[in-house]
Structure 1
């Protein structure tokens, strides 16, 4: 029989990083030919959508930090894991306790929301304009199933609950749906406190094992062949290493790189640029092509940049609670 954990309550601290795909899209936008104004606006809109989602997630993080949770617990924001060679799962927030796991998906959307079926879609009416989106319940079900697959490997008897949270104050749910719990931010605390009444099913050792295993599944978010998906010809993009502060190119100096446009200095921009380029196209996986795009001649310099990038990527998922 599982030995119960003494109950202690505390407020969580959550650190959610800026979505990494934003930097990749910014780099891609700077490389566009000057004539592709419409594509540049399209990428800007994509980045605004990503930022809007991020701000919604941060708002829910702020709500969660004001809620007392039964210790011990772990909160994992932006959980991203590879399930198979071609399948990933991305969960906005995971709350893991000795009593339950709560899988939260967050939508930062305003207007009147209707859930349509057959086929499943979400309809938003705002400023007398109708927009249609992929069904969030399909997304939740897909991610929930992936989470259960990961948990099955541990064989730990912990219940997994899921909730769809609408973060925007200007959101009205017109038609309800029983496929998943739907909450507004102020309802989140009551929902979590209700779940906290469940009995503990894991001891400290099991809980730590669970958290460590979930961390080990984590992988960084990386696009695959983004140029192909954006309908861009790789050959038309501008080459070089671009400044993070403006649209200028960086010029390599003795110990650092300096922007020829704004004058800002960066010590080693090659790993971040390499990370972006590898997401642009599978054609850029060859060392010769990468050196040409980075504007470097030394194979050793590219090797060091690759090594630094791999260390950064491998650090994701090595954390514990």
Structure 2
């Protein structure tokens, strides 16, 4: 299956927490969002772990982090799709610890916190139902005929109160059994799995990079500029023309230039000129800034005097790092 891509939204939130000053009004909200997305990613990794040894008859594929446009104004995102000759299984991962209450009217989940407060979660069953309807509609529009089912897989041990017996909520440990039960001996669909997979991969939209100013109301001038220490996020100082030092942690041993460039792409703009890069990082020499930019695999636009570099996460990002030129 390969390694699940690190979520672009998590990278963006990490950059925001690194670049915002400690007293910024939005830090707490962003930190809470980071914890939520990180927990979701951990749940998805647990799903991968339990599907790793899965064996099914015929042809089948596991697709992860798929975004498909269902209609002009509707994009559906799927954590994991199991595509087989016998149908498609949607697997939505959740990592929410503790005792969970399932409530009706409106359908939702609640958890009692230690301080006596109640934390409310959106209903995962409704989310799964919407995803099934969206995928069925997407397949129908393209005359791809197969069945669609799905489960919500919880990666933590939970005690449930009020959960209906028919609810499609399972433990990740049950996934191999459920996938073999549902897709190991079922009647094949009209459309082979390889045709469906090819169409999904052809039309998938790739990761969504949200505009920081639109979603969080944070403008570029609110972020710290300069090269930052990987340990304390304080601004680094140049000891010599080639070495950096943190006032708190001493000589720098990480990759602050690469991190600063990725921060710029995630928070400011997907396009950067050498002059803008030097302004953001504090690199004093245009030639040095250009040398750094030229090390990375980026799209190069324009002539020599007006050259810009464009970042495309699908092409230029591997895990948490920008891809270097060979």
Shorter chain as denominator, the TM-score bin is 0.7 to 0.9
Aligned CA distance change for structure 1 residues 200 and 55 (closer, same or farther; 3 Å): same
CA deviation vs aligned residue, 1:141-194 (integer Å, no higher than 9, x gap): 33223322332243122101011111112x022122478522122332332222
Gaps in structure 1 of 5+ consecutive residues:
1-12, 317-321
Task: Answer yes or no: is the 8 Å Cα contact 1:112–1:126 preserved in 2.
Answer: no
Q: CA deviation at 1:250?
A: 7.1
Q: How does 1:240-279 map to 2 (within 5 A)?
A: 240=226, 242=228, 247-248=233-234, 260-261=245-246, 262-264=251-253, 266=255, 268=258, 272-278=262-268
Partner residue, 2:321: none
Q: In the alignment, does 2:125 pair up with 1:137?
A: yes
Partner residue, 1:235: 221
Task: Answer yes or no: is the 8 Å Cα contact 1:113–1:123 preserved in 2.
Answer: yes
Partner residue, 2:62: 75
Distance in 2 between residues matched to 1:289 and 1:166, nearest whole Å: 48
Partner residue, 1:65: 52
Distance in 1 between residues matched to 2:204 and 2:236, nearest whole Å: 33
Partner residue, 1:25: 13
Partner residue, 1:123: 110
Partner residue, 1:3: none
Q: In the alignment, does 2:42 pair up with 1:55?
A: yes
CA deviation vs aligned residue, 1:253-274 (integer Å, no higher than 9, x gap): xxx9865435235475576234
1:176 pairs with 163, 171, 175, which one? 163
Gaps in structure 2 of 5+ consecutive residues:
301-308, 318-326
CA deviation vs aligned residue, 1:38-93 (integer Å, no higher than 9, x gap): 64344333222222222222122211123322231110122233445654322111
Q: CA deviation at 1:105?
A: 0.8
Aligned CA distance change for structure 1 residues 265 and 107 (closer, same or farther; 3 Å): closer
1:222 pairs with 188, 208, 233, which one? 208
2:97 pairs with 96, 102, 110, which one? 110
Partner residue, 2:146: 158
Task: Answer yes or no: is the 8 Å Cα contact 1:107–1:167 preserved in 2.
Answer: yes
Partner residue, 1:198: 186
Partner residue, 2:314: 313
* SS in structure 2 at match of 1:264: coil
TM-score of the pair, normalised by structure 2: 0.73
The CA RMSD measured in Å over matched residues stands at 3.8
Task: Count residues in correspondence.
Answer: 295
Task: Answer yes or no: is the 8 Å Cα contact 1:250–1:258 preserved in 2.
Answer: no
Task: Answer yes or no: is the 8 Å Cα contact 2:211–2:267 preserved in 1.
Answer: no
CA deviation vs aligned residue, 1:10-57 (integer Å, no higher than 9, x gap): xxx452132222221121112213432x64344333222222222222
2:199 pairs with 213, 226, 230, which one? 213
Q: Which moved more, 1:46-55 or 1:89-98?
A: 46-55
Q: CA deviation at 1:293?
A: 4.0
Task: Answer yes or no: is the 8 Å Cα contact 2:237–2:245 preserved in 1.
Answer: yes
TM-score of the pair, normalised by structure 1: 0.74
